[in-house]
Amino acid sequence: MTAQPQWVQEAWEQTKNKVKRVHTRIGDQFPHASVNGTYKLEPAAWWTAGFWPGLLWLVYRDTRDEELRASAESCERQLDVLLTDAAKVDHDIGFMWTLTSGARYRILGDEDSKRRALLAANLLSARFNAQGNFIRAWNGQGLEGWAIIDCLMNLPLLYWASSVTGDPRYLHIATRHADTVLQHFYREDGSVSHIVAFDPVTGEKLEVKGGQGYAPDSAWSRGTAWAIYGMSLSYQYTGNPAYLNAAKRSAHFFMANLPEDHVPYWDFRSPEGDSAVRDSSAGACAACGLLLLADQVGELEARMYRESGEKILHSLYSRYGAWESETEEGLILHGTSHFPEQQNVDVSLIYGDYYFAEGIALLMGYEERFW
């Protein structure tokens, strides 16, 4: 690996050290959000179940710490019960198995992990609505036609499944969903809607919902981050320039609306009074997307995207980090999960921690992503 700025090396060392310290308590469990400094643990069926083992795999790839590997593999095995019960999973299948089975297969070439990831891809494919060309988000009555922007980050599981099996049907489903996002989620300025409801029978678009954003027409920052990274990944797998252009539009909207410290507000169009609330997890995710985007464009554009991604990560490290804290298990502070419902506001979030670590690993020269 090439030499990196001192702060990047320090951030990576701090990340590895803290993950190891926190691992002594969490082990092979599933943290979600920090409550009074301690990560609340969730069941294996929770949508964020993949992020902690994914974080363990990021660190293991560098350190070869066998304790971290054993816990990550145990987390993966605990998800097995979900592979035979479609009612217990939703569109977040990609988040869950890409960072567990997919990561283990990429690092170790384990065939059992490949089998699990393909089973998960089958479950995700089964959620595709062929009339509306979208992957259904959540389960439950009345939600049959709902799709959400987050699902862009689940599509890499399908792209990967198509590449390893040679079966184009996974690819078809992923690209049709991505095309639907372009048509129905994207706005002219590069911001995106969180939820779009379709008629599940006819496929007709019915309405846009605010979801975790302030309003249906607002600009939830983590949704924009999903769009930057998700569309860049779709371009990586397909070469479709429409996806690259969409990622660039969202990136420019995101960058243009960042405050001075480069860490986004929870919603770029939230009313005065709420606008000061940040979401560090949105910043971390967007930074990873910007670094990928930098690899996909010409030199001048690449410099702009890479510098923006680095500024976000540097700010998260230097201003939002909890590296020496003995009372906070999270890596980065001031994440916001669901502001409208006041759920997990101004806390550490496991997916924010994961994307921060992924971004720093990329700056360190680990070019292969788990997505």
CATH number for 205: 1.50.10.10
Which residue(s) pair with 220 in the sheet?
267
Structure tokens at 155: 């599509």
Q: What string of pLDDT tens digits covers the 371 residues of the chain?
A: 567 899 999 999 999 999 999 999 999 999 999 999 999 999 999 999 999 999 999 999 999 999 999 999 999 999 999 999 888 999 999 999 999 999 999 999 999 999 999 999 999 999 999 999 999 999 999 999 999 999 999 999 999 999 999 999 999 999 999 999 999 999 999 999 999 999 999 999 999 999 999 999 999 999 999 999 999 999 999 999 999 999 999 999 999 999 999 999 999 999 866 668 999 999 999 999 999 999 999 999 999 999 999 999 999 999 999 998 989 999 999 999 999 999 999 999 999 999 999 999 999 999 999 99
Residue 171: give the domain boundaries.
6-364
Q: Which run of H or E residues covers position 38?
A: strand 38-41
**Six token digits for residue 186:** 């994207």
- Does residue 371 form part of some domain? no
Is residue 99 included in any domain, yes or no? yes
Q: What angle do CA 63, 68, 72 make, to 5 degrees?
A: 125
In a domain, 223, yes or no: yes
Domain tally, the chain: 1
Task: Assess if residue 1 is contained within a domain.
Answer: no
On whether residue 204 sits in a domain, the answer given is yes
Per-residue burial over 85-103, b if 16 or more Cβ lie within 10 Å, else e, is eeeebbbbbbbbbbbbbbb
* Residue 370 maps to a domain: no
Which residues are designated catalytic? 92, 150
> Does 45 fall in a domain?
yes
CA distances from residue 230 to 334, 345, 359 in whole angstroms, order as listed: 23, 24, 15
The model's pTM: 0.97
Q: Give the count of beta carbons closer than 10 Å to the beta carbon of residue 140.
A: 9
369 in any annotated domain: no
Alpha-carbon distance 280 to 336, whole Å?
7
How far is residue 290's CA from residue 151's CA, in Å, rounded to a whole number? 18
Are 306 and 294 spatial neighbours (Cβ–Cβ below 8 Å)? yes
